[in-house]
Structure 1
C-alpha cells in the first residue's frame, strides 16, 4: 500500500446540462431520388436544474430542512468504527449555521484537504485570471540563453516549441544556443520536512523549482506517474535540444539582459481546477511559494504555509491552532480543523471572491479523485468535494445539494483508520446530507 495520496482514475464521465430555451432538431431522410423529406420538428424539454448556488442576496434556497432528523442520521453514520477518530463539521450554507459538529475545533492531520485553503488564499490574493510569465534572456556568455523560473510549473512541449522559435528569430545567425535555467526565485531549500525522496518516483512530489514541464511528470500522459528529480534542468535540456544546445544546467542570469522570448501560463482558475481535481501536490506547492513571495516571506514550504494562514486570517477566518508545514497536505506535520475547512467552503458558497473555489471541486462518481467513488450512493453527482488520503488518514470536504434543495458545506477527517474502509464510510456520511 502506498504511503501517500493514491488514486485509481479509470474513466471520467461528466454530463453538462445547458439551461434556458428550447432546442429544435430536424430529422432528415433521403429517398431513392435524393430528395429530402423533413419530419416534424422534435423538441427537448428544458432540463431540470440540479444545482442552485446559494444566492448572494440572502434569498431562501430550498425547503426548510428536518435538521433534527439530519443530525440524528449524521450521528449514526459518524459512529461507524471504520472511521476511526472522526472529526467533522456541517453548515447550512444559506444562513451560515453550523448544524452538526464533532470536535470541529480539533486540529488533526488533514491530508490533501489542505489544498482547499491554498486555493482559497490564491483566489483572494491573485484572482482567477492571474497568469505567470516565463522569460528567456540572453546569457552573459556568447551563444547562451537563460530561462528565468517565474513560478510556472506546467510548461508544455508546445510552449517550448514556441520559445525556441522566438529565440531563433531573436538570434538570426542560426548558431546553436546553449540553454541554462535560473531557479533563484524560490528558496534552494526545495524539499520540505515530512516529504520522502521515494515519493518522487511514486509520483507525489518533486524538488520544488520555479519552472517545470508538466509539473515535473516524466510522462505528461500519466498525471499520477513518476516525477523528475531535477525538473528545472529538464526544462533547460528540452529547450536546448530544440536549439542544438551542447550544454545545459543551472546558472544565474545577468542583470538587465536582453529578452529573447516569453511564454504565459494558463489563468489561475485553470491551474486550480487541475490542482484540485487531480490533487496535484506540485501545483499546490508552487502556488504556496508564489503566495509567500507576494507577502515578502521565504519561498519555501514553511513560508508558503505561513502565507496561506496569514491571508485567511486577514479575511476573517479563525486559523488559531492550525499548522501548515506545506501547502499540499503531503506533510504529516500539517494540522487543520474541520471547522476551518467548513468555514472556507461556506464562504465560497455565499460570497463572490471565493465562489470560483466550488467549481474546482471533483464531482462524485464523475471527475477527478472522485471518479470511482459514490457509485451506489445517494451523493452520486450531487457531492462536490476535495479528497485527502495519507496512511491512516482519509478526508472529504465540500458541498452537497440535498433532495429538498438545501445547500450544505461539510468537512470530515478520519484519522487512525484504514484507507479503503474509511473512504467508503465517508462517502456514506456525505450522502446522508443528500438524503437530507
Structure 2
C-alpha cells in the first residue's frame, strides 16, 4: 500500500550472489509452508532441530542443497525468550519516525503471550492495510478455509432467457477456467460452453437473452468513509458479488481506474463468450444484458467455482487487494447470517475479533480493507490477531499463514529488505504491510536467532508523507527481531 548487530553472512549471499532462479527456490525452502506442515512448529510438538556447530541457526542459513523442503523443524519450548530490557534497547533505537509523527509497537512471545516490548501498544491508531489481518481471520472463521464460491447460469422466467448469478467470485477470468490459478480459476468461456450444452439438452431453439442477478450484496456499493480520490485512482471500486480480475480491466495491470460496474462488465464478457459458443451450436444470443433476479424455481444450467477461500485470503494479503478484502468481508457477513453490505461486513469482522477473545477496547471498524481513515486498531490488538493466526487455539486460522509476504521475496515485501541495514530480516520476516498518506504499519511474525517465535505490530501515524525513513525504520526494527538473541 508502507540494534545494530552484524549482518548474517547468508543475507549478504542472498542479496549479492544468488541468481533469480535460486532465490525462487530459496523462498520455498525458507518461507513457512502450508499450515499443515507449519502447525507443529508453532505448538512445539515434533522432533527437535538437528544440532549445528554454526553460530547461525539452521533455519537462518542458506540450504546446502536444493532438494524439496520438508518444512521448518518444530520449535522448542525451551528456546529462550528475549529479555525485554535488551530487546527494548534495540527497538527503541530503530523505531524512530522520519520527521513528524510517531510509532507505537508491541512484540509478544507467540507461545505464552508475554509482552516483550510495548510502546503505546493500547493506543488506537489508523492501521491502513493491516486491517486486512482482521478481515482474513474473520473470513476464515465465518466461511471456512476450503469454501468455494459459485457463479451460476440459471433458467430465466421467460423462455430462452438465462440469468448469470453472482455468488461472490470476483476473481473470474474471461477465458476458460484455470485449474491451477487463483485469479481466473473460474472462467467465463467455460461457463458459456457449459451453458450452451445445457440449452441444447433442454431443446432451446430461439434467441437467448442474458440477464444479470447481482443481488447477493445489498446497500451502498461504496463505503461512505472512502475518499472519492481513492476510488477515482482505482484503490477500490463499487462492490459487486461477481467481477473479472478483482474488478480490473486487465489481470496484468493492477493500478489505475477500475470498472465502476464490475458485475455488468463481467456479464457483458459472459454474453460475448456465450455468443461465440452458441454460434458454433447453431444458436443466437440477443445483444445486451439487463438486470433481473433469478426466479426462485429456476434450474441451474451451468456452474463454475472459484479458488478456495484459503487461496483467496493468501492473494488478498500478498497483494493487499482492497477490492478483494471488501468482498471477503461481505461474504463473511452473509455466512454469518448478516446482510452482505458495508455495515454487515464491519459488524462481522468486529464480532469475530471479539469471539477470538481479543479485547476490543478502542477498536473501530469503518471498513474491512484499511482504506478508511475511520479505522482504529491498536498495535496490541494486531499482535494478538497475528498470534491467533500463528499459534492460537482455533486451527482454522492457520489457513491465513501463507498469505503473509516474506521479506525481500514475495508480495508487498518483495522489494524491501535489500540493504545492509535490513538484510538480516530477508527471508525471515513475514508481515502484512500498510500504507496511507501519513500512515505506515507492519504486523507479522518471525523466528528469532534463538528459535523463539515472536509476533509483532508497529504502527506509525501522523507521519510526514513520503518520508523514506519511516519504511526503513519498520524494516530495521523487524530485522532486529529476526537477528535477536536478546539475553
Same fold at TM > 0.5: yes
Give the distance between the partners of 1:249 and 1:61, measured in 2 at CA.
64
Give the distance between the partners of 1:298 and 1:66, measured in 2 at CA.
47
Render the CA deviation track for 1:321-356: whole Å, top value 9, x for unaligned: 211111100111111111111011112221333223
Pair 1:71 & 2:99 matched: no
TM-score, normalised via structure 1 length = 0.86
In the alignment, structure 1 segments of 5+ residues that lack a partner are: 21-42
Q: CA deviation at 1:206?
A: 1.2
**Residues 214 and 45 of structure 1: CA distance in aligned 2, closer, same or farther (over 3 Å):** closer
In the alignment, structure 2 segments of 5+ residues that lack a partner are: 3-19, 38-63, 177-186, 276-284
CA contact (8 A) 2:221 2:239 kept: yes
Query: Aligned to 2:171, what secondary structure does the other structure show?
Result: strand
Pairing 1:129-278 to 2, within 5 Å after superposition: 129-157=146-174, 158=176, 159-172=187-200, 173=204, 175-244=206-275, 245=285, 246-278=287-319
CA contact (8 A) 1:322 1:335 kept: yes
1:428 is matched with 476
Q: CA deviation at 1:61?
A: 5.5
Give the distance between the partners of 1:427 and 1:107, measured in 2 at CA.
22
2:339 is matched with 298
Pair 1:404 & 2:432 matched: no
Q: CA deviation at 1:94?
A: 2.5
2:43 is matched with none
- Among 413, 416, 422, the alignment partner of 2:462 is 416
CA contact (8 A) 1:89 1:102 kept: yes
With 75-84 and 359-368 compared, the bigger mean Cα shift is at 75-84
CA contact (8 A) 1:184 1:252 kept: yes
CA RMSD of aligned residues (A): 2.5
CA contact (8 A) 1:113 1:387 kept: yes
CA contact (8 A) 1:193 1:325 kept: no
Q: CA deviation at 1:308?
A: 0.7
Give the distance between the partners of 2:404 and 2:428, measured in 1 at CA.
12
**Residues 325 and 65 of structure 1: CA distance in aligned 2, closer, same or farther (over 3 Å):** closer
1:318 is matched with 359
Q: CA deviation at 1:259?
A: 1.2
Give the distance between the partners of 2:314 and 2:113, measured in 1 at CA.
25
**Residues 62 and 123 of structure 1: CA distance in aligned 2, closer, same or farther (over 3 Å):** same
With 165-174 and 408-417 compared, the bigger mean Cα shift is at 165-174
Pair 1:124 & 2:145 matched: no
Give the distance between the partners of 1:380 and 1:83, measured in 2 at CA.
28
Pair 1:103 & 2:120 matched: yes
Paired residues, number: 402
Comparing both structures, which one devotes a greater share of its residues to helix?
A: 2
Q: CA deviation at 1:176?
A: 4.3
Q: CA deviation at 1:401?
A: 1.7
Give the distance between the partners of 2:78 and 2:72, measured in 1 at CA.
11
Give the distance between the partners of 1:201 and 1:80, measured in 2 at CA.
30
**Residues 342 and 53 of structure 1: CA distance in aligned 2, closer, same or farther (over 3 Å):** farther
Query: Aligned to 1:205, what secondary structure does the other structure show?
Result: coil
Comparing both structures, which one devotes a greater share of its residues to strand?
A: 1
Give the distance between the partners of 1:211 and 1:342, measured in 2 at CA.
33
